[in-house]
A and B are shown apart, each in its own frame.
Chain A
């Protein structure tokens, strides 16, 4: 087995716990999108054209409320702004790749693909085949999202409204945050971001998440700067 194929499989393996959490979300999206008045083909195609869970849920809701198109497009942009942080974070590791790889991996760059990939890069460093890890994680998520959307569309209203299978996803993210808490500034970044995320939760369009992330990043950076200027590190 070639090294890149092994790395590709490792990416898929790391993604599996997230896929289990994502699958019911995809089904609920499919059912909701039909319910909101989207055609079967539009509901299905949104999962590959936009390929961003929260933005798709919100789009379905806004279509249902007959919101003007440009407002929906703007909303999608704001909801997905957080991906710019992932783009910045992965950029140094992907810098040497040909543009076609950068395009493909950017298309696949979601919350769920970013999390295991950045852990992989931080652990293994930037090996020549490391981008196959992101490809494995991103592609398996993409595939799962398409299938679960289709199943949700097919089953439609047969999906009970009270489904609470979303629990697997936060648990998996918790397992992922632990390895990145390597030092005091990282812990402070995580705690301050978490607290701001709670306080700013009522903000619309995931702006609370973006604000929380920015505060956490600032806290971590400032603490690290202070420590190194004092010569503690």
Chain B
């Protein structure tokens, strides 16, 4: 497959993912549990991004003082 076609399809799918629920919202009834669950997206996603960056800078768990990232926190 041509690289331009790969990028175009990859870009369209990425856009589709980002647009999906913004587009669908309001077009059907959203259960109470899901509404409640949405409140926990920020703490869950943000710490899922942070923890590996902080504790696994080299891809392995590093809790020693050599890990300057822990000291900076």
Contact = CB atoms under 8 A, between A and B. Distances in A.
A49 interface: yes
A92 B38 contact: yes
Given A76-B13, A105-B22, A216 B44 contact: yes
Interface residues of A, number: 86
Interface in A186-233: 186-187, 189-198, 201, 208-209, 212-221, 224-225
Contacts of A115: 42, 46
A47 B62 CA distance: 33
Contacts of A86: 18, 41, 45
B9 to A, nearest CB: 5
Given A89-B38, A174-B73, A186 B43 contact: yes
A184 B26 CA distance: 30
Contacts of B35: 92
Interface residues of B, number: 52
B53 A102 contact: no
Contacts of B2: 69
A229 B22 CA distance: 30
B53 A51 contact: no
Contact of A177 (B10, B26, B38, B43): B43
Interface string A42-82: 10011001111001000100010000111011001100111
A87 B11 contact: no
Contacts of A176: 46
A213 B14 contact: no
A219 to B, nearest CB: 8
Contact of A88 (B10, B41, B46): B41
B65 interface: no
B18 A109 contact: yes
Which of B3, B35, B36 has its CB near the most chain A CB atoms (within 10 A)?
B3
9 contacts: A72-B6, A86-B41, A87-B19, A118-B42, A170-B50, A208-B48, A212-B51, A213-B48, A224-B39
* 6 closest residue pairs by CB, A with B: A69-B1, A216-B44, A220-B40, A91-B25, A170-B53, A194-B51
